[in-house]
Chain A
Amino acid sequence: MNSGAMPQEPAEGWAVRRARRGLWALAGERLLEGLIYLCGISAIVFVLGIFFFVFREAFPVLGKENFSLTQFLFSEQWYPTSATNKRYGVLAMIAGTLSVTALAMVLAVPFGLGAAIYISEFCGSRVKETLKIVIELLAAIPSVVWGFVGLTVMSRLIVQYTGAPVGVNILNGGIILALMSVPIIVSIGEDALKAVPDQYREAGIALGATRWQLVWRVLLPAAKTGLLAAVLLGVGRAVGETMAVLMATGHAVHIPHSLLDSVRTLTANIAAELGEAPEGSDHYRVLFLTGVLLFTLTFIVNLTADFIVRGIRKK
């Protein structure tokens, strides 16, 4: 037993020294730990809080007899201010959001990933710095300015070159959204490529791979999770963007049949109508329900992304 007591002595000595650090130091440390903990969980609190408040505003409408969820999701009749027959169907807006987002991604993903590959693997350091600064500038342009560009410059060009009756349509909104998503895709994609360990490049080069083979066969497989994240963040930006699409897509409630049709997106609808809807009215609550729908959409996108990323990691 004697020998068992021996090692405890230095431990006590250590404890005494620790106590001597003073109450203030200890309290300060506790405080900091607490603060960091708060920062950590705040993300969860905020997300839940936002979901709660949006849902609370939307919830009462679900019980009303003149409202049905199926009509909300699958009808394209949006007449919230009709005097006799109010109808709240957002199908046309869902179609609008999806079509504009899809077009934006078709344009932005190849461009964005291509630019990320160029910046990370092909260009010299001076070009690289310049490009990165310019792309950051592109990301910093406020969305209302993009909307302005869509409304004036793009719109005129589209009318001139496609002969469309109006220049504010899916094509316009898609291009504007693509321009807004590209910087995100480029910067996240470039980070993903930069994170690929240099030893993979050396391995490929030493085996005689050309630059393209290196990109195609080594870097893309190695960076695919990061690149996927880049694309999905781009999608997130496109789905959630409001002001630019409000100005550039024409704001017509109508299921589109071609790229030159005007549409309205879920976000633009909320932004445009919330101000006019009397607080507490059905119209007001349906708009909040649209918010819940958007929330769910982005949640599904993120969750899928998460699963895909995890699936890739496991493999």
Chain B
Amino acid sequence: MMDLSITTRDLNLWYAKFQALRQVSVEIKHGLITSLIGPSGCGKTTLLRCFNRVNERYGYVTTTGEIRILGKNIYDPDVSLVELRKSVGMVFQRPNPLPLSVYENVVFGLRIHGERHELERARLDEAVEKALSEVGLWDDLKDRLDTKASTLQLEQQQKLCIARLLPLKPEVILLDEPCSALDVDGTRAIEELLFSLKGRYTMLIVTHNMAQARRASDECLYMLLGEIVEHRRTEDLFLHPQDPRTAEYIEGRYG
């Protein structure tokens, strides 16, 4: 049996009075790419945003239940949000590099978390080269590390948003429709990148694009109205869906 990265038990979430997640219990395996699919408003992004507790920015969110990441319940009172978010990185729907240079975007995490001795120029340089090489941007950008990140192409921006997570050595990377702002080539490039990162990081990807879920993920979670309907290997889910609701969705009868 494989190691588990994230397990949730009886997770419920309300936006004010509206219940967005119902009794969600899932087990996400370590090192795999797991995709979350389902029609709009089914709670897949909400679930994703629970894993780094970023949805708590809005004061009207209440959560019950348990999420264990690396064996620790992230809703325990002694959990440090800073540490949690260091080990659970997030990539957003629209590429959102910070309004800084390429270099500063990559070392941002180190700057806000690092001890002083870790912030020597040589170490930062090394981290930048390593992270950008890992996402395949180093050759393109090594001579323009000082340019503003917002001037890059969207695909490069999105890769940069992945690269800036890596110096923090995250356990989990959450991706919220990371390709929806990109064209076909950009989408392919990001998918290939995710593939190359597989094994080292546990990745969860929310997607509207069923073909993408099929191409890019090992396991697939189908959600409907805040509940998990089915969670199986991607291949099995698409070829032999167990639940009639899944079958109808992947055949395109709704959603």
Chain A interfacial residues counted at CB < 8 A? 19
Which residue of chain B lies nearest to A197 when distances are taken between CB atoms in the complex?
B96
Distance, CA A181 to CA B92, complexed state (A): 39
Number of interface residues of B (CB under 8 A): 28
B109 at the interface (CB under 8 A from A): yes
A213 to B96, CA, bound (A): 17
Known: A199-B92, A205-B85, A206-B54. A315 touches B148 (CB 8 A): yes
Contact A208 B86 (CB under 8 A): yes
Q: Which residues in chain B, 22-57, are within 8 Å of chain A measured between CB atoms?
A: 52, 54, 57
Take A207-B164, A208-B86 as given contacts and tell me if A199 and B112 are in contact as well, using a CB distance cutoff of 8 Å. no
Contact status of A221 and B85, CB under 8 A, knowing A202-B54, A209-B112: no
Tell me the residues in window 172-228 of chain A with beta carbons closer than 8 Å to chain B beta carbons: 197, 199-210, 213, 217-218, 221-222
> Closest B-chain residue to A125, C-beta based?
B59
B52/A206 in contact, CB under 8 A:
yes
**Interchain CB contact under 8 A, B100 and A207:** no
In the complex, the answer to whether B82 meets A210 with C-beta atoms within 8 Å is yes
Asked whether any CB of chain A lies closer than 8 Å to the CB of B161, the reply is yes
Most buried by B among A203, A205, A206, A210: A206
Known contacts: A200-B96, A202-B92, A315-B148. The answer to whether A208 contacts B113 by CB under 8 A is yes
Q: Type the 1/0 row for B56-97, where 1 means its CB is closer than 8 Å to any CB of A.
A: 010000000000000000000000011111100110101011
CB distance from B78 to the nearest CB of A (A): 16
Within 8 A of A (CB), among B135-184: 148, 161, 164-165, 168
**CB–CB A200/B99 < 8 A:** yes
> Nearest CB to that of B94 among chain A residues?
A199
Judged by DSSP, the binding face of A is helix
For A206, give its contact among B90, B97, B99, B113 (CB under 8 Å). Answer: B90
Check B54 against A208 for contact (C-beta < 8 Å). no
What distance in Å separates the Cβ of A217 from its nearest Cβ neighbour in chain B?
Answer: 7
Q: Does B111 contact A (CB under 8 A)?
A: yes
Chain A residue contacts of B165, Cβ below 8 A: 207
Are A200 and B98 also in contact (CB < 8 A) when A206-B52, A206-B85 are?
A: yes
B45 → chain A closest CB, angstroms: 12
The residues of A that contact B148 with a CB separation of less than 8 Å are 315
- Any A CB within 8 A of the CB of B14: no
Question: B158 → chain A, closest Cβ, in Å?
Answer: 12
In the complex, the answer to whether A208 meets B99 with C-beta atoms within 8 Å is no
Question: In whole angstroms, how far apart are the Cα atoms of A8 and B241 in the complex?
Answer: 56
A199 proximity list for chain B (CB < 8 A): 92, 94, 96
Q: Mark B111-123 against chain A: 1 for CB-CB distance below 8 A, else 0.
A: 1110000000000
Q: Residues of B contacting A209 with CB < 8 Å?
A: 112
Asked if A208 and B109 sit within 8 Å, CB to CB, the answer is yes
Asked if A207 contacts B96 (CB within 8 A), the reply is: no
Q: Are B99 and A222 in touch, CB under 8 angstroms?
A: yes
> Chain B: which residue is nearest A224 at the CB level?
B99
**8 Å CB contact of A203 from B57, B83, B98:** B98
Q: Least Cβ distance of A66 to chain B in Å?
A: 57
Contact flag A208-B82 (CB < 8 Å), given A203-B92, A213-B112: yes
Is the CB–CB distance between B89 and A207 below 8 Å?
yes
Does B238 count as interface, using CB distance less than 8 angstroms? Answer: no
Q: Does B108 contact A (CB under 8 A)?
A: yes
Most buried by B among A199, A200, A207, A222: A207
| B83→A202 contact, CB < 8 A | no
Q: What are 15 sample pairs from A and B whose C-beta atoms fall under 8 A apart? A: A199-B92, A199-B96, A200-B96, A205-B57, A206-B52, A206-B85, A207-B85, A207-B89, A208-B86, A208-B109, A208-B168, A210-B82, A218-B98, A218-B99, A315-B148
7 closest A-B pairs by beta carbon, nearest first, are A208-B85, A199-B96, A206-B90, A222-B99, A208-B82, A203-B96, A213-B112
